[in-house]
Chains A and B, each alone.
Chain A
Amino acid sequence: MADSMITVFERPHSLKPVPSHFCSGCHHGTVHRLVAEALDQLELQQQTIGIASVGCSVLLYEYFDIDVVEAPHGRAPAVATGVKRVHPDSIVFTYQGDGDLAAIGTAEIIHAANRGEHLTVIFVNNTTYGMTGGQMAPTSLGGQVTTTTPYGRDLETDGNPIRMAELLALLDGTHFSARVSVDAPRRVAQAGKVIHKAFEMQKNRAGFAFVEVLAACPTNWGLSALDANERISQEMMPCFPLGTFKDLSGAQG
């Protein structure tokens, strides 16, 4: 920009200047940007190692200009543990979907949290398996029609939407757990602050920090980008309330 202008908002440096493969209106892009902004603001890009999971966000390394290890489906917290134990001074984060973290990878996330691994976990809850074509996720809402719950999720037989942020907050090893959303400008700003904090805590070696982000998958919800965005406050928030469920960052000093 010309010298006569002040930059108010720009694409973060930690994101590569390439278009993403995400669908139009997919909130993965927003969450990617918020993570990159946190890395920029905290000047962590050079020392950060991202752990990609299996889901629509598997191509993390195509978009983040950082070192990345790709983990098997659900195993990102275990891979992150291995990396972080070797490089305790680096910043290690996992980026996982709800199928990845809250179904196949439940054991790995609970035990990484329980050990109090110094990790930042970004959990993108879009109530579905985006990558494989919109099947039921453990976070799918009661009655939600997915490609494997064609008659709607039956809470009697298909289980209940799982609230990971609350669940993980119960563990002594968890130092921070919050749920945010990116469906409105002020909530995006708030989500950015929380994600920033979750990285800052790791920088200060303050333990396991977990951020759940409510996100839209317009494609598999069968909604326009705007209607999908709207669904987050209308349908998801009543089941997945926003808030901070645990914060020991103060206690950690």
Chain B
Amino acid sequence: MNKRLFVKGNEAVCIGAIAAGCRYYFGYPITPQNEIPEYMSRELPGLGGTFLQAESEVAAINMVLGASAAGVRVMTSSSGPGISLKAEGLSYMAGSELPAVIVNIMRCGPGLGGIDASQADYFQAVKGGGHGGYHLIVLAPDSIQELYDLSMVAFDLADQYRVPAMILGDAMIGQMKEALIPHPYQPLAELPAKDWSVTGKGNRVQGNTVKSLFLQDGALEAHNWRLHDRYQQLKDREVRCETIGIDDAELILTAFGGAARIAKTAVSMARQAGLKVGLIRPITLFPFPEQVFRQATERCRRVLCVELNNGQMVEDVRLSVDRQADVRFYGRPGGTGSLPTPEELFEQLQKHYKD
């Protein structure tokens, strides 16, 4: 059961999903996430599940909507252009309180952009890529092990809060191979029964309705307040964050996902060079670890945010830190050859450490 595996990130997320009981996958091919539909198409039929290659990402997310409404764990995956097409369905799912896991293995954009690693979909993921004002739970793994672990967490959180959960990876994490220990699935909490799902009315007195339209006076406002409370509960209870050496840090580096991998190496280079540099790595991008930033910056006033884009998470960092903190940014906006090396980041650390 716990035999070590050596797999790609894209496979790890599938292994985790299947371990968590996901038996339904609907998707559409796009690089750099094709190993996900390919893996699911191989494995799900033998498990009595359904793999379906849809006619588009629009159709795929709506199949996910239907399967989720029907009460099962279901997943889809894509990358930038496809996630844009899923935005419509995601808004409806958020409004209809439907849990599901959506994997975005980010590539660079805008438009067709390129297939290299990028983090330019942070805003799209965290600020609600679709219309109407909603949140997804957004989880940002930085290793193959974490892709596996978080894909199980994503299903649990989605079911518990009835909020769709997105795993925000990137081409680097998705394509990379690493060792993985496939711990058996343990639900995070006792999960609520899906008594709201559609099954056919059977002996129920009333039919179940899964919908996002609320026309009666005050009904939509009440619904949106309820969703708001749900998001607040997530902020109160479900923040996940890794910190390294922030207690004595003079400079805090912050990064998520793929960028954080490089950042970790740069931080240890800095420590070896005697620089007091720490790291804050948000694992949940929504809910964002606001408190961690606030508390850490009450003491350490300088933060360098590193992203594979032109500055997106940095806005949330600025909103979270202590008022007197000085938040700086270093970003690489994508394309072949735009991934910073640890040495380049170390240089940045030295520069921002001094002035």
Residues on A close to B: CB < 8 A? 45-49, 51-52, 58-59, 61, 64-72, 75, 78-87, 90-91, 107-108, 110-111
A to B CB contacts below 8 Å, 26 in the list: A45-B201, A47-B201, A49-B199, A52-B211, A61-B207, A67-B201, A69-B66, A69-B209, A70-B210, A71-B62, A72-B88, A75-B89, A78-B54, A79-B63, A82-B24, A82-B63, A82-B65, A83-B66, A83-B198, A85-B50, A85-B63, A86-B50, A87-B199, A90-B200, A91-B200, A108-B62
B62 x A67 contact (CB < 8 A): no
Please give, as numbers and ranges, the residues of chain A lying within 8 Å of B72 by CB-CB distance.
86
A70 x B96 contact (CB < 8 A): yes
Query: Which residue of B60, B200, B211 is within 8 Å of A48 (Cβ)?
Result: B200
Is residue B64 contacting chain A, with contact meaning CB distance below 8 A?
yes
Instruction: Using CB atoms, name the residue of chain A closest to B69.
Output: A69
A51 x B55 contact (CB < 8 A): no
Instruction: Using CB atoms, name the residue of chain A closest to B197.
Output: A67
- Interface residue count on the B side (C-beta < 8 Å): 39
A58 CA / B209 CA spacing, docked (Å): 12
A51 CA / B216 CA spacing, docked (Å): 21
Is residue B306 contacting chain A, with contact meaning CB distance below 8 A?
no
Please give, as numbers and ranges, the residues of chain B lying within 8 Å of A70 by CB-CB distance.
92, 96, 209-213
B67 x A46 contact (CB < 8 A): no
B209 x A68 contact (CB < 8 A): yes
B70 x A87 contact (CB < 8 A): yes
B209 x A67 contact (CB < 8 A): yes
Please give, as numbers and ranges, the residues of chain A lying within 8 Å of B207 by CB-CB distance.
61, 64-68
Please give, as numbers and ranges, the residues of chain B lying within 8 Å of A107 by CB-CB distance.
55-56, 58-59
B55 x A111 contact (CB < 8 A): yes
Please give, as numbers and ranges, the residues of chain A lying within 8 Å of B213 by CB-CB distance.
58-59, 70
Is residue B291 contacting chain A, with contact meaning CB distance below 8 A?
no
Please give, as numbers and ranges, the residues of chain A lying within 8 Å of B200 by CB-CB distance.
46-49, 66-67, 87, 90-91
Query: Which residue of B55, B92, B198 is within 8 Å of A72 (Cβ)?
Result: B92
Counting chain A CB atoms within 10 Å of each CB, the highest count among B56, B66, B68, B70 belongs to B66
With A46-B203, A49-B200 known to touch, is A71 a contact of B67 (CB < 8 Å)? no
A67 CA / B208 CA spacing, docked (Å): 5
Counting chain B CB atoms within 10 Å of each CB, the highest count among A82, A87, A111 belongs to A82
Please give, as numbers and ranges, the residues of chain A lying within 8 Å of B67 by CB-CB distance.
82-83, 85-86
Is residue B26 contacting chain A, with contact meaning CB distance below 8 A?
yes
A78 CA / B202 CA spacing, docked (Å): 24
Interface residues of B in 95-138 (CB under 8 A from A): 96
Is residue B158 contacting chain A, with contact meaning CB distance below 8 A?
no
Please give, as numbers and ranges, the residues of chain B lying within 8 Å of A110 by CB-CB distance.
55
Please give, as numbers and ranges, the residues of chain B lying within 8 Å of A51 by CB-CB distance.
66
A58 CA / B54 CA spacing, docked (Å): 24
Query: Which residue of B50, B62, B74, B212 is within 8 Å of A79 (Cβ)?
Result: B62
Query: What 12 new A-B contacts, CB under 8 Å, besides A61-B207, A72-B62, A82-B62?
Result: A47-B201, A67-B201, A69-B65, A72-B92, A75-B89, A79-B65, A82-B69, A82-B74, A83-B70, A86-B66, A90-B199, A111-B54
Is residue B52 contacting chain A, with contact meaning CB distance below 8 A?
yes
A86 x B209 contact (CB < 8 A): no
